[in-house]
Structure 1
């Protein structure tokens, strides 16, 4: 992005330079006028304060003559000192135009201070009448000071009349200059913005047109760019992408055609296999046959064999009916009970099956054929290899917002590596299983819960295995279809 950054920085620097020049110029002229104005205002303020101090000094002197206290004396001294300070400041205002008036004004101020001191001294020495006479003289001098101040200010106004008019003219010219500078800045910004945007948007417009052609599936037209910045790099990358997409599109069409042919062949093969299977074994014929054998065994006194045949028939019927939809937990437990009955007929006392079931959990919905594969794996790995058989503990309990189904055995256990493989759904169906397998159960539970947190395995070599399945009590309302994930 170096070239685009240079253009942006160039525009920013030009604008910044113009703004700095304007700011410095306006600040300089404004400060110059402000300083001159402050100087004039300072002269007026000082003379006005001197006039006020003169009147206050006379007032303080009168108060002292009436009540010659230390407080009144200190007030007179303080105001005399202030008059001397203001005298020094006013003296600095003298120039060729106001020398006469300002000299008279300052002399009157000195006379007022002297007359005040004389009146105080007379009062201290007990010459009351002479002190009052000096007070009257001080009052007259204070009045002269006030009148002379007006004369000095009038002289100042006449002297600085030209300057005031120059200040007004400068202010108007400064305002006019500001307007013209603003117009100039706007025009320059418009020009640079147009030039800068044109250098960027023109190549981007070409790229946009090329992108629209690609979105319509037109991959045969080459993408070009006449810029020398990052847009050219983008156009080159875009062109390479067009070539790759075009090649991939052609290759995908060929693969899709081959895949369609292959899927059609697989479908025909599965259909033929299904028809062949149906022709060999009719489910209804098989169920009727098992029921007939069960009744015959019961009549002949083989009640155990009869019950076993009934369990097999019910188990097969449930498998074919419930693989494509959820079912209640109590139905799964009924089928599991029949499955255990069949296995007990096989393993006799070698199989010990213990259940701990919370009856309040039996109405929860779970995917069909969830429990049997887990228990079957426990029998295969914990009971069958051992001469003494084994024990399987089956537990159903509540836990927060889900129901936990636990299958625990006392078999040889598993290593951590094997547990991780099962949790990652990389375990394959057991060769001795029923074809559903652990992987299939986990995948269907994930789809059913819409969550990956559906199984937990706790096991150590030589200490058995406990598999916990988590079934949500309330799901988000999604539709679950096992038929596309079973097997």
Structure 2
């Protein structure tokens, strides 16, 4: 796959006599594929997670004249903290597809991270159309289920995967208002090394639990 993409990219560069929007799209998409097929432990550094999210938005923005803006606020050592793979990108995809209605005019996503005691707190906030209280309650309830509609599957997968890794020592909270946007709050126990994590790991470490609400 990578070799084929490289051949297409070089052919496009030859035709365009240098870099073009098409060659940049191919390069970004190839990078996104490599990130998605990363092998090894099932956790990555927070820095890699942010780069995955940034690359995903770069690919999405190729089709928008007015780009969706991404703001990053890291108050943690992003090279020393590890998070599960594929955690941030599905949440951003929810914002792009549902909160922004596939548009981009004036839209923004803000990712913040900080450490509070033994917990890593990550928030992903968008300024999209938001949800009603009933929609938030339904989405929160759906995170405990496996038979959910396609539009909720990304966030449900993230929630169930981190629960598999950390047990009750993690959680996701949702805050949203119609016309004002949505904020997803993720709480994870701090991890400073990559590992294939098991459900009992957080319980063995005695880290205080955080319940979704």
Q: TM-score range by the shorter chain?
A: 0.7 to 0.9
Counterpart for residue 179 of structure 1: none
Pair 320,479 (structure 1): closer, same or farther in 2 beyond 3 Å: closer
Q: What residue number does 1:364 align with?
A: 81
Q: Name the larger-Rg structure.
A: 1
Is the alpha carbon distance of 1:323 and 1:375 closer, same or farther for their aligned partners in structure 2, counting shifts above 3 Å? farther
Deviations 1:154-194 (A, max 9, x none): xxxxxxxxxxxxxxxxxxxxxxxxxxxxxxxxxxxxxxxxx
Specify which structure has the higher proportion of strand. 2
Aligned-residue RMSD, C-alpha: 2.8
> Greater RCO between the two (CA within 8 Å, min separation 6)?
2
Aligned length: 192
Structure 1 402/383 Cα, relative in aligned 2: closer, same or farther at 3 Å?
same
Deviations 1:229-258 (A, max 9, x none): xxxxxxxxxxxxxxxxxxxxxxxxxxxxxx
How do 1:287-366 residues align onto structure 2 when only pairs under 5 Å count?
287-299=2-14, 300-322=17-39, 325-358=42-75, 360-366=77-83
Alignment map for 1:88-487 (pairs within 5 Å): 286-299=1-14, 300-322=17-39, 325-358=42-75, 360-386=77-103, 388=105, 390-424=107-141, 425=143, 426=145, 428=148, 430-431=150-151, 437-451=154-168, 453-474=170-191, 480=197
CA contact (8 A) 2:171 2:186 kept: yes
Q: Which runs of 5+ in 2 are unaligned?
A: 200-213
| TM-score normalised to structure 1 length | 0.36
- Distance in 1 of aligned mates of 2:44 and 2:75: 18
Q: After the TM superposition, which segments of 4 or more aligned residues of structure 1 sit over 6 Å from their partners?
A: none
Q: Give the deviation of 1:473 after TM superposition.
A: 0.7
Report the CA distance shift for 1:479/1:354 in structure 2 as closer, same or farther (over 3 A).
Answer: closer
Closer/same/farther in 2, CA of residues 323 and 445 from structure 1, 3 Å limit: farther
Instruction: Structure 1: give runs of 5+ residues left out of the alignment.
Output: 1-285, 483-487
Q: 2:185, 2:79 → 1: CA distance?
A: 17
Once residues 323 and 457 of structure 1 are traced to their aligned partners in structure 2, the CA distance between those partners, rounded to angstroms, is 31
SS in 2 for 1:309: helix
Q: Greater share of helix residues, 1 or 2?
A: 1
1:323 deviates by 9.0
CA apart distance, 1:353 = 1.8
Q: Distance in 1 between matches of 2:137 and 2:3?
A: 45
